[in-house]
Amino acid sequence: VKRYFKMITSAGIKVNVPKTRRTFCKKCKKHQPHKVTQYKKGKDSLYVQGKRRYDRKQSGYGGQSKPIFRKKAKTTKKIVLRLECVEPNCRSKRMLAIKRCKHFELGGDKKRKNANARCSWIGYVIILSLFTL
């Protein structure tokens, strides 16, 4: 069962994911609660082979040696969730990719049916109580 909620706003669809999720842990071999965070890319290393080669080629005279990519096609990135088991002896982590979205929210308010109707009903009760006084 997918446990994230889509909320339609004026800016488009907002995906809201709960901060905890009960799902299968491979290390514990059973369903456990997991802490959900959004995956972030780490800092690029200066010492990987490709970066060393690129820097060597760039040094000296001759300007930009390799093409700089400018024809970006996508407007969104795929959201990757990082699930961490809350069991103290386990703490195993795994990644879970969800679909592309423009607006992503972690642990926001849940979408309610007839939220506006509920507010208007409360307002009606308050006004009615003022008239009866």
Q: Where are the domains of the chain?
A: 11-56+75-111
Model-wide pTM > 0.95 = no
Question: Does residue 21 contact residue 3 with C-beta atoms inside 8 Å?
Answer: yes
Question: Does residue 10 contact residue 72 with C-beta atoms inside 8 Å?
Answer: no
Give the per-residue pLDDT at 121: 59
**What are the tens digits of pLDDT across the range 72-129?**
999 999 999 999 999 999 999 999 999 999 999 999 887 777 766 555 656 656 666 6
Please state which CATH number belongs to domain 11-56+75-111: 3.10.450.80
Mean pLDDT value of segment 7-13: 59
Place of tokens 């299968």: 24
| Closest alpha carbon to 23 in 78, 79, 81 | 81
